[in-house]
Amino acid sequence: MSEWRADPFGRFEERMFIDEQSTAVVRSGGIEQIDTVGGEHSTESAEIEPLDLPAGNATPTVDRAEASPVPRSNRSWVFLVGGLLAATAVATLGAFLLGGGEKSRDETYLAALSKADLLSEFAADRAAIANATAVCTRLDAGDKPQGSTVDNIGVETYCADYLDCFKVLSERTVNGTFSILDSDSAGYDDGDSCEGEGGYGDLNASTQVVVKNNEDKLLARTALGTGTTYLNGLGCKFRFIVDLTEGEDEYLLKVGDRGLIGYTWDEITEPGRVALVIG
C-alpha cells in the first residue's frame, strides 16, 4: 500500500511511503521529484518526527536546487512496474484462452462422435481427430465434398465452410450368395455343410470375397464362410456379408480367382441382386 506522508527528514513537504517504508519519491508545492541527496531515505520504516515549522503555520520553503527534476520514467516507476505486470498477465491469459479454444474444438468433435455412437470406430481419440483433419485437408486439395457420417461431423467441426455442399454418403450392408452347381456332389442331404470339390476345390470357407472400385481401391473384404447343400445335394451355397459406402462409380466384386463382376450402387444394394452361380 502506498501513501504520501509528511517528509520525516524535513527536506520536502511530503514523501512517498510503500508498505510503511520511505522511498526517494518526494513532492513539494505539488511537484513530484526524486530526492537525490545521499542518505535521504531508509530501507527501514522511518520514524516520523515533528517538523520545526515557522510561526503562523507557514509552509516551509524548499531549495529546489537540492533536487533534480524527475524524469517521467522515474516519476512513474510504480505505475510502470504495475503496467508491465498487467501486460504479462494479459498475454498469459490470452495464450491460455487460445490453447483452450483448440482443445474445446477437439472436445466438441469427440462429444459429437460419442453422441452419434461413432467414437468406437477409432482406436483412440487422437485417431478420430487425425481423420477429421485429414478430411478437411483433402477437401482443401479439391476432393469431392462427400463422405461418411463420421466425415460430416469432422467437417462441421473443423472446416464448416464445406458443410453446405457436403454430401453424407449412404452406408449399406450387402448380403450376397455364391453357389456351386456340381452333379458330382449329389447325394448329400440339404443343409449339410459343403465346399467346392474337384475343379471347384479352391472355393471353400476361407476363400476371399473382395470389393474394389474402378481405381483398384479396396472397399470391402470378407470370407465365403461355410457352405450348405441344397437341391438334394447338387448345389453348395455360400452366404457372405459386406459393408459398403455410396459414392463409387462402380463396385467390382470378386470371389477368389473367379473374375470380376461390376455393379452400380443401386444394383449392388438391391436385395437379392448379388447372387452368383458357377457350374
* Concatenated DSSP letters of 47-71: PP----PPGGGPPPP--GGGSEEPP
Which of 136, 153, 169 terminates a domain? The answer is 169
Beta strands in 48-163 (DSSP E): 68-69, 146-147
pLDDT at 158 over 70: yes
Grid-cell match 473367379, residue found: 258
What is the tally of structural domains in the chain? 3
Q: pLDDT digits over 197-233, tens only? A: 888 889 999 999 999 999 999 999 999 999 999 988 7
Note whether 34 and 98 are same-domain residues: no
Contacts of 238 (CB under 8 A, 6+ apart): 177, 178, 179, 203, 207, 224, 225, 226, 227
Residue 249 lies in domain: 171-278
Q: Quick one: pLDDT at residue 209?
A: 97
Note whether 163 and 175 are same-domain residues: no
Q: Are 51 and 6 in contact (CB under 8 A)?
A: yes
Note whether 43 and 81 are same-domain residues: no
Note whether 21 and 95 are same-domain residues: no
Note whether 58 and 109 are same-domain residues: no
Query: Cell numbers at residue 73, please?
Result: 520514467
pLDDT at 141 over 70: yes
Which of 169, 187, 220 terminates a domain? The answer is 169
Note whether 179 and 272 are same-domain residues: yes
Contacts of 105 (CB under 8 A, 6+ apart): 157, 158
Is 215 in a helix, a strand, or coil? coil
Which of 169, 203, 223 terminates a domain? The answer is 169
pLDDT at 255 over 50: yes
Q: pLDDT digits over 33-57, tens only? A: 888 874 444 444 444 444 454 555 5
Between the alpha carbon of residue 12 and those of residues 23, 36, 168, the distances in Å are 12, 12, 81
Please state the pTM of the whole predicted model.
0.54
Note whether 60 and 36 are same-domain residues: yes
Confidence category of residue 4, pLDDT binned at 50, 70, 90: confident
The residue-averaged pLDDT of 242-268 equals 94
Note whether 110 and 130 are same-domain residues: yes
